[in-house]
């Protein structure tokens, strides 16, 4: 059955003036009550990209707002004093701005905008006045950075890949066929018709010219596709060298390996040098000490393991010596930031379901934790004796905080969403430690409905995290939003099961080659423990998850022994053998699944495929909603289609929500709201 209209009584609606007219801005919301709804979720302003001015006095940042009526968003730029005073919106054009940074002299703000058609570099005064287009590069650019001496810029740009079979298409302008003879022909959500390259160009403060491709003729991308950005490219402090991240592999070799390196391109000689040769995992994101003596970067050790510990290394550029700054630190590290005196590196790391700020002492080789609390710190920048940090939690979207380095105390300085948050009631977020089936301690996050009444009984949802590795932290998500689920009257149970980062590398690695074992028992432990509570109705339990969490939902459907009365799987893995040959990043399949299914002597692989969820479908007895996007090339949409078909053929109540224009996520506002409406319609049907 296809539903044309699933949601007739939204408790939040948006003013037509702001959402359906030509200008997108902060939505004019009217609330029927104090509970979160999908429309309210999409009304939040999404803050990003904080940058402190060179004089340390002002923060530049962006906020995106979305129009449901226009089915799109726009990002505008703002400034505020580091003390939280003098907030100002400095752009209001019809096009978004992004990659906004202070020029090294602090007199201009550079940013990318498509106001002239394709994306070019623009500049304006810090108050937003006198906006001028600076570049006019054919095809547009995707990111940029000023040289410290401001005589040049570097930028990234998409260049076409070689068309090996172009002659066969001569005279056939309407032919739609694609002819491939190698792997990695598509990646995540796009066909690989272009690669990103790094360029540099002359710059005189008003215009850019004489651009040069430092990777001319090379068939591999830099920054790394598909998620790498301009943060993977840097100038050395003397403006003489460009450091860039690249995986110089193509085809089958590229899909089997994660071995990226950091390369130095010397502008004077045109010579390129591999600075991390022999380091076999991901090496990304070079950042240089202000005195020019050191480079720090993020590094994984093992080739083919994309969830290896994300360490950070430091190299002495004078001697070539390099060392693992996190060798005694059993956590991941990211967002590296040098202190002005080149004596410390600040970074963020996830630990026990949160992201906190840490500091590395270069001389002593020690690491100190600076912050605490049930929240996530993400982007950071320096402002004197304070850090300006982007922070969010399960109950609050991202805002900027001024963090005192001396004691880690924090003061909120932006209040982008205060008006809306003041009108909504959030549910309590609680940390619970539980004993797993094999006696380990596991942290489970529990989110209660707003106005929770312990004398009542509530349905509960087991949240199955994707990844399968990575953090289950305090992120304010715009699809899997815990507070939105709780606002619909559900208790959310989110276990940090085996495979989740932030509990040491050994805990994270226990899921590789064992999706079906300890992590599944961890899920059952969490929901069974919560079902013992007098306020949880053990007869109204559901399981929901996406990607590897979708795998978990499919697998649990075959082994749950009557626990669940409804389930939802989004972009989940259903048939492991098909997945192995449908996906594109083979390093992931080989590491996490143990290898191909045809290796009969490979015990890990054979155990994996023996426990593929589709082999337990004969046990399915729980109503299931399946969601998938056609542009998901990571977990191909046929995985969802076959799961749905199997459920129907088994006479299991099922629905299939299919998006022809979405990838592994749901990014368009109207599709996202449809996703939420279908999601809760399904749960309410079976659990209320």
Q: Extract the tokens encoding 215.
A: 């990777």
Q: Extract the tokens encoding 650.
A: 């088994």
The question of whether 196 is a catalytic residue gets the answer: no
Residue 96 has a pLDDT of 87
CA distance 551 to 613: 7
- Concatenated DSSP letters of 355-396: EEEEEEETTTTEEEE---SSSEEEEEEEETTEEEEEEEETTE
Element (H, E) at 678: helix 669-687
Query: Measuring CA to CA, which residue among 620, 622, 592 is closest to residue 607?
Result: 592
The question of whether 664 is a catalytic residue gets the answer: yes
Q: Are 392 and 2 in contact (CB under 8 A)?
A: no
Residue 336 has a pLDDT of 98
CATH 3.20.20.410 corresponds to the domain 425-687:
no
DSSP 166: G
Residue 230's φ and ψ, nearest 5 degrees, are: -65, -15
**In the chain, where the domains are located:** 1-34+43-102, 425-687
CA distance 376 to 357: 9
CA distance 542 to 321: 54
Instruction: Pick the catalytic residue from 516, 560, 614, 664.
Output: 664
Cβ neighbors of 206 (< 8 A, separation 6 or more) are 132, 134
Residue 6 has a pLDDT of 31
The question of whether 375 is a catalytic residue gets the answer: no
Residue 166's φ and ψ, nearest 5 degrees, are: -60, -35
Query: What residue ranges of the chain have pLDDT lower than 50?
Result: 1-22
Query: Measuring CA to CA, which residue among 409, 552, 553, 431 is closest to residue 502?
Result: 431
- Concatenated DSSP letters of 588-630: HHHHHH-S-TT-TT-HHHHHHHHT-GGGGGGG--S-EEEEEET
Instruction: Pick the catalytic residue from 473, 512, 547, 567.
Output: 547
Q: Are 289 and 338 in contact (CB under 8 A)?
A: yes
Residue 23 has a pLDDT of 58
E strands present in 413-518? 429-435, 441-447, 458-464, 491-495
Instruction: Report the relative pairing of strands 491-495 and 458-464 from DSSP bridges.
Output: parallel
Q: Are 203 and 147 in contact (CB under 8 A)?
A: yes
């Amino acid at each position: 059955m296809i539903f044309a209209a699933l949601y007739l009584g939204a408790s939040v609606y948006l003013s037509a003036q702001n959402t359906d007219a030509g200008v997108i801005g902060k939505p004019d919301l009217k609330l029927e009550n104090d509970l979160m709804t999908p429309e309210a979720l999409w009304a939040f302003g999404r803050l990003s990209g904080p940058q402190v001015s060179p004089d340390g006095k002002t923060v530049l940042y962006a906020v995106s707002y979305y129009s449901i009526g226009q089915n799109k968003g726009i990002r505008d730029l703002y400034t505020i004093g580091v003390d939280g005073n003098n907030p100002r919106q400095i752009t209001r054009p019809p096009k978004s701005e992004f990659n906004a940074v202070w020029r090294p002299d602090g007199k201009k703000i550079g940013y990318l905008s498509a106001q002239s058609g394709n994306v070019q570099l623009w500049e304006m005064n810090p108050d937003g006045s006198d906006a001028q287009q600076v570049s006019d590069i054919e095809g547009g650019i995707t990111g940029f950075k000023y040289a410290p001496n401001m005589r040049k810029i570097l930028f990234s740009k998409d260049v076409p890949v070689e068309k090996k079979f172009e002659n066969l298409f001569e005279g056939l302008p309407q032919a739609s066929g694609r002819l491939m003879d190698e792997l990695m022909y598509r990646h995540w959500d796009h066909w690989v018709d272009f690669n990103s390259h790094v360029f540099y160009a002359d710059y005189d403060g008003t215009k850019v010219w004489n651009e040069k491709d430092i990777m001319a003729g090379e068939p591999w991308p830099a920054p790394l596709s598909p998620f790498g950005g301009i943060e993977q490219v840097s100038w050395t402090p003397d403006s003489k060298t460009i450091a860039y991240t690249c995986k110089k592999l193509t085809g089958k070799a590229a899909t089997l390996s994660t071995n990226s390196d950091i390369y130095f391109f010397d502008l004077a000689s045109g010579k390129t040098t591999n600075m991390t040769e022999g380091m076999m995992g991901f090496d990304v994101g070079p950042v240089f000490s202000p005195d020019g003596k050191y480079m720090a970067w993020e590094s994984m050790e093992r080739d083919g393991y994309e969830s290896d510990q994300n360490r950070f290394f430091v190299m002495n550029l004078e001697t070539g010596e390099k060392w693992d700054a996190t060798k005694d630190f059993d956590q991941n590290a990211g967002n590296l930031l040098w202190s002005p005196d080149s004596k410390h590196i600040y970074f963020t790391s996830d630990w026990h379901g949160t992201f906190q700020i840490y500091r590395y002492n270069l001389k002593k080789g020690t690491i100190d934790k600076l912050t605490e609390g049930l929240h996530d710190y993400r982007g950071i920048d320096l402002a004197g004796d304070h850090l300006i940090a982007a922070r969010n939690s399960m109950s609050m979207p991202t805002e900027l905080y001024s963090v005192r380095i001396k004691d880690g105390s924090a003061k909120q300085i932006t209040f982008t969403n205060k008006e809306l948050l003041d009108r909504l009631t959030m549910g309590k977020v609680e940390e619970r430690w539980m004993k797993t089936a094999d006696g380990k301690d596991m942290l489970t996050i529990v989110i209660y409905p707003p106005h929770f009444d312990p004398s009542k009984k509530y349905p509960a949802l087991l949240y199955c995290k994707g990844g399968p590795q990575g953090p289950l932290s305090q992120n304010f998500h715009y699809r899997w939003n815990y507070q939105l689920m709780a606002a619909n009257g559900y208790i959310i149970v989110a276990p940090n099961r085996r495979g989740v980062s932030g509990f040491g590398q050994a805990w994270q690695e226990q899921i590789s080659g064992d999706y079906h074992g300890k992590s599944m028992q961890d899920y059952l432990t969490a929901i069974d423990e919560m079902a013992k509570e007098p306020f949880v109705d053990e007869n109204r339990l559901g399981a929901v998850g996406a990607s590897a969490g979708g795998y978990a939902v499919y697998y649990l459907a075959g082994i749950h022994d009557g626990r669940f009365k409804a389930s939802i799987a989004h972009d989940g893995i259903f048939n492991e053998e098909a997945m192995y040959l449908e996906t594109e990043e083979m390093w992931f399949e080989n590491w996490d699944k143990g290898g191909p299914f045809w290796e009969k002597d490979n015990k890990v692989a054979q155990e994996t495929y023996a426990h593929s969820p589709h082999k337990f479908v004969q046990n399915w007895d729980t109503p299931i909603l399946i969601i998938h996007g056609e542009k998901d090339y990571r977990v191909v949409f046929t995985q969802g289609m076959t799961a749905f078909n199997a459920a129907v053929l088994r006479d299991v109540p099922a629905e299939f929500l299919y998006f022809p224009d979405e990838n592994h996520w749901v990014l368009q506002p109207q599709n996202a709201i449809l996703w939420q409406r279908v999601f809760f319609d399904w749960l309410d049907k079976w659990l209320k």
